[in-house]
Amino acid sequence: MGIRTIIYGDKPKVQGLIVANHRSYFDPIVIVNQIHAFPVGKKEVASWPMIGYICKISGVLFVDRKCPKSRQETAENIREVLAKGYSIINFPEGTTADLPTTLDFNYGSFVMATKIKAAVIPIAIDYKEKTDAFIGDDTFIPHFLKCFGKRTTEIKITYFPAIYSEDAACLLSTSKKMIDNELIRYRKDWDNQN
């Protein structure tokens, strides 16, 4: 599909809660292609053509974000997966965006990390072409063809060292700052190429 991935940092050597910014439905696929982890995804993705099938067979933990029972069940599933020594990928923005930095992060996954004393592993991910972000009224098939039908789709990803804290607010703010700074750096690098 012409994907060119540029990787910075070392892949995680510990398991934990991977927190990444969110640009596209393709983000978890890029990450899972590099490291063994189970993504958390919104339940609507399960019904998407091709991507939904890939998600189901790859162990995505689906959550209905509007349903408190589903959120609680997903939290328990995450806890079990982490306890078994596997990593979880969560996108704390809760949706995709193409802003220069991240949207506000949701607090819940960071609270869980403190409760089970899990490492938090921040990851930054972005696409050279801003139109590769899956946002707004985009629909899957036309977006997929536009994004991956061109000669090259360049993606940058940075693995940061694991961070530990008993303070969820500290984990959130530290992760967000690391990711935001990297997204700004990516865009400067790409802008300087033109």
Could you list the mean pLDDT of each consecutive 10-residue stretch along the chain, which spans 194 residues? 87 93 86 85 72 69 77 80 85 87 90 88 93 74 71 92 96 98 96 84
- What pTM was computed for the model? 0.85
Name all contacts of 187-192 with Cβ < 8 Å and 24+ positions apart.
187/100, 187/126, 190/128
pLDDT at res. 158: 98
How many alpha carbons lie under 13 Å from residue 146 in its C-beta half-sphere? 13
Note the pLDDT of residue 169: 96
Domain containing residue 160: 3-193
Q: Which helix (H) or strand (E) holds 139?
A: none
Q: Supply the pLDDT for residue 6.
A: 94
Q: Let me know: does 144 contact 48? Beta carbons within 8 Å.
A: no
Q: What pLDDT shows up at residue 55? A: 66
Sheet holding 37-42, edge to edge: 3-8, 153-159, 119-127, 16-20, 87-90, 37-42, 61-63
User: Could you give the number of structural domains in the chain?
Assistant: 1
